[in-house]
C-alpha cells in the first residue's frame, strides 16, 4: 500500500506541453503512472508523445477520462489558477510542483480546497513516488525500491539523498513524499505521519525537517502520544544564522523560534532519534527497527 495514491489514481498533467511538464511527464509515463490526459490552454487537440491527448481545460479531461489527480507544471503566476481549475473540475488530489508561488495566493487557495475536500501537495515540492504504483512529480524513479519505510520531507534534494541511502541499505519504501518548504503548503507533516501511522504496510518512517515554523514540534507531540512505529528524523539548517532566510521561503528563524536546536529537543523528548547528518539516518533507523 501507499499513502494518498493507489491503483485507481488517474492523472492529468497541467502544463504537459511545457519544457518541465513535458520532460517529467515522459518520466512519469515511463514509470507506469496512469497519465490519461494533459492540459495546456490553446493546445487542445494535440497529442503528447502520441500517447496522451491534450485538452484546453481540466474539465474536459475529467469528463472524457475520469481523471481524479492533477500534477501541475505551470509558471508561478498561473499556479493558483491551475489549482482552482483542477479542484473545480473534480480532482481530489493535486500536486503542485511549481516553485515561487506567491504566499498571498496560497493563503486564498487553502480554504478553497478545504471546503471542497481536495488534498494539495506542495507547492514548491518534488511531489510523491509510491514505488510500484505511481510517480507524481519529479522524484527520480531509479533510486526507489518497494518496501516498508515511509519518508516525508520539507526538502526536495534531501528527499533524494535519503531515499537513495535507504535503497542502498536494502530498505524499500511505501511512499516517498516531498511536501515543500514554503510558508503555506497543502499537505503537512501532520497529514503525512497520520497517514503513515494508519498504513498497514508502512512499518517505520523517516521525517526530514528544516528550520523555520513549528511543524516538526507539532509532529513530535503527536507521534509521542499516538504512534508506535519507529521514527527517525533529521533537521536541515543547523548552522543557519537567526533572521536569515536559508533556501525555502519558510526556512527562516525569527524571534527565537524555529531553530534546529528547538526542533531537535522536541523530537528527542518524544523519543525520536535525530541524526546529525543525512548519512546517519539509516543506521539510526536500523538501531530501533530490525528488518
CA distances from 54 to 40, 43, 57, 103, 214 (A): 7, 7, 9, 30, 41
Q: How far is residue 126's CA from residue 262's CA, in Å, rounded to a whole number?
A: 27
Of 24, 248, 263, 284, which one is the catalytic site residue?
248
Peptide bond into 206 cis (omega under 30): no
Per-residue burial over 141-172, b = 16 or more CB atoms within 10 Å of its CB, e = otherwise: eebbbebbbbbbbbbbebbbbbbebbbeeebb
Q: How far apart are CA 235 and CA 23, in angstroms?
A: 31
Residues in a beta bridge with 12 = 37, 70
The span from the CA of 35 to the CA of 8, in Å, is 11
Q: How many CB atoms lie within 10 A of CB 221?
A: 16
Instruction: Report the candidate in 258, 257, 205, 201 with the shortest Cα–Cα distance to residue 235.
Output: 258
Q: Is 248 a catalytic residue?
A: yes
Would you list the DSSP string of 114-153?
Answer: HHTT-EEE-SSS-EEEETTTEEEES--GGG--EEEEEEEE
CA distance 67 to 170: 34
Which residues share a beta bridge with 93? 69, 119
Closest residue by Cα to residue 266 from 203, 204, 208, 223? 223
- The catalytic site residues sit at 248
Amino acid at each position: 500500500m501507499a499513502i494518498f495514491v493507489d491503483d485507481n489514481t488517474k492523472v492529468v498533467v497541467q502544463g504537459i506541453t511545457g519544457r518541465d511538464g513535458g520532460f517529467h511527464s515522459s518520466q512519469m509515463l515511463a514509470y507506469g503512472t496512469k497519465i490519461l490526459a494533459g492540459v495546456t490552454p490553446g493546445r487542445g487537440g494535440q497529442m503528447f508523445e502520441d500517447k496522451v491527448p491534450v485538452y484546453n481545460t481540466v474539465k474536459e479531461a475529467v469528463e472524457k477520462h475520469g481523471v481524479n489527480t492533477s500534477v501541475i507544471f505551470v509558471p508561478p503566476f498561473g499556479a493558483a489558477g491551475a489549482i482552482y481549475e483542477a479542484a473545480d473540475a473534480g480532482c481530489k488530489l493535486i500536486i503542485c510542483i511549481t516553485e515561487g508561488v506567491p504566499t498571498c495566493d496560497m493563503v486564498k487557495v487553502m480554504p478553497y480546497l478545504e471546503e471542497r475536500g481536495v488534498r494539495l501537495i506542495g507547492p514548491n515540492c518534488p511531489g510523491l513516488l509510491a514505488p510500484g504504483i505511481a510517480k507524481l512529480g519529479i522524484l527520480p524513479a531509479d533510486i526507489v525500491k518497494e518496501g516498508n519505510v515511509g519518508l516525508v520531507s520539507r526538502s526536495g534534494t534531501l528527499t533524494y539523498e535519503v531515499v537513495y541511502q535507504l535503497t542502498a541499505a536494502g530498505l524499500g519504501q511505501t511512499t516517498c513524499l516531498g511536501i515543500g518548504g514554503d510558508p503555506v503548503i497543502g499537505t503537512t507533516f501532520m497529514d503525512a505521519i497520520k497517514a503513515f501511522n494508519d498504513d498497514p504496510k508502512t512499518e517505520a518512517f523517516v521525517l526530514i525537517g528544516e528550520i523555520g515554523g513549528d511543524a516538526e514540534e507539532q509532529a513530535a507531540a503527536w507521534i509521542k502520544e499516538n504512534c508506535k512505529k519507529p521514527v527517525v528524523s533529521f533537521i536541515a539548517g543547523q548552522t543557519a544564522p537567526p533572521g536569515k532566510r536559508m533556501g525555502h521561503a519558510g526556512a527562516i528563524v525569527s524571534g527565537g523560534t524555529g531553530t534546529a536546536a528547538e526542533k531537535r529537543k522536541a523530537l528527542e523528548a518524544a523519543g525520536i532519534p535525530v541524526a546529525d547528518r543525512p548519512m546517519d539516518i539509516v543506521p539510526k533507523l536500523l538501531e530501533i527497527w530490525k528488518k
